[in-house]
Amino acid sequence: MLIYILSRNIELYSTKRLYEAIKNANHKVRVINHMYCDLLIENSQFSIIYEGETLPTPDYIIPRIGSNVTSYGEKVIRHFEKMGVRSLTSSKGLLISRDKLRCLQVLAEHSINMPTTYFSNDFHEVEEIVKKKLGYPFILKVTEGTQGLGVYLIKNEATAQNFFDHFSNSKTQVVLQEFIKESSGRDIRIITAGQHIIATMERIAPKNEFRSNIHRGAMGYEIKLSENEKQIAVKALKAVGLKFGGVDIIRSKNGPLILEINSSPGLEGIEKTTQIDIAGEVVKFIEQDYKL
């Protein structure tokens, strides 16, 4: 197979690992910077011009699109899809997973449980909603945030008001969410490909931190999933139209709840925690998927 990894930097751990795994499996591989892909439509034919060259059509692409370039990356994936190329991450799945509200709307449609979530254009009813549905403290999240950076724990009305003023001035969209106290500082990352769970780790935040992102200093630990949790991960991934991704859940007193799905999960933390060759497993999955 000829496989392209769409990535802006060959030096990134995940890009490097995937590159090596593809080579080890005797396939041809190239790292293509999606930001330099020009998209040509001519006589109803799709092609991609890359640094002066018309790119040979690959058999498969592995998109690793950064969250700051989702919009352009999605167009590039879509162009490859129109060329008949299979993608580990569909353009549709990328878009759904990058918007927390959209992702939760789709998951709820498939009866997957999540913390109670609220979205409003101007938050005019917010005091009532917080009183009746969420309570204090509650969670506020920027819909397109990542690595825990746009996630806040709001403890009282005065703080809430400051945040709403700030975000409505900057026209940033946010969702409000019930705070799952019993899981504070912990979540579970489940790397899933199709029907198959590749690797799982629990992430535990440092003291005085409710966000369990590795980028916020959390540590990874091995953990065993229940059958129900495995099924949720597989079902959630399928619901958003992804073949591969990191499904994040938390354990609440009412059972597992989904937080989000990452379409380009980082491999470093979880490969080091679990000692699983995730990149190799991804290539095996691609080989099977290509035959279907």
Ligand X SMILES: Nc1ncnc2c1ncn2[C@@H]1O[C@H](COP(=O)(O)OP(=O)(O)O)[C@@H](O)[C@H]1O
Applying CB under 6 A, the residues found at the interface with ligand X are: 115, 139, 141, 145-151, 177-180, 183-184, 187, 210-213, 248, 259-260
- For 208, residues 6+ apart whose C-beta sits below 8 A from its C-beta are none
Nearest residue (CB) to ligand X, 81 versus 99:
99
- Do 246 and 208 contact (CB within 8 A), yes or no? no
- CA pair distance 97, 281, nearest whole angstrom: 22
Q: How far is the CB of 177 from ligand X (least distance, A)?
A: 4
Q: How far is the CB of 109 from ligand X (least distance, A)?
A: 19
Q: How far is the CB of 245 from ligand X (least distance, A)?
A: 13
- Are β-strands 117-119 and 53-54 bridged in parallel, bridged antiparallel, or unpaired? unpaired
Nearest residue (CB) to ligand X, 2 versus 142:
142
- Are β-strands 151-154 and 196-204 bridged in parallel, bridged antiparallel, or unpaired? unpaired
Question: Residue 238 corresponds to which tokens in the numbers above?
Answer: 């399928």
- CA pair distance 97, 236, nearest whole angstrom: 11
| Count of positions (residues) in the chain | 292
Question: Residue 145 corresponds to which tokens in the numbers above?
Answer: 């945030």
- Are β-strands 2-6 and 28-32 bridged in parallel, bridged antiparallel, or unpaired? parallel
- Are β-strands 60-63 and 28-32 bridged in parallel, bridged antiparallel, or unpaired? unpaired
Q: How far is the CB of 256 from ligand X (least distance, A)?
A: 13
- CA pair distance 93, 90, nearest whole angstrom: 5
Q: How far is the CB of 21 from ligand X (least distance, A)?
A: 26
Nearest residue (CB) to ligand X, 207 versus 291:
207
- For 114, residues 6+ apart whose C-beta sits below 8 A from its C-beta are 104, 107, 108, 257, 258, 259
- For 91, residues 6+ apart whose C-beta sits below 8 A from its C-beta are 74, 75, 77, 78, 81
Q: How far is the CB of 76 from ligand X (least distance, A)?
A: 22
Q: How far is the CB of 117 from ligand X (least distance, A)?
A: 8
Nearest residue (CB) to ligand X, 16 versus 213:
213
Nearest residue (CB) to ligand X, 269 versus 280:
269
Nearest residue (CB) to ligand X, 86 versus 100:
100
Question: Residue 242 corresponds to which tokens in the numbers above?
Answer: 């992804």
Nearest residue (CB) to ligand X, 68 versus 147:
147
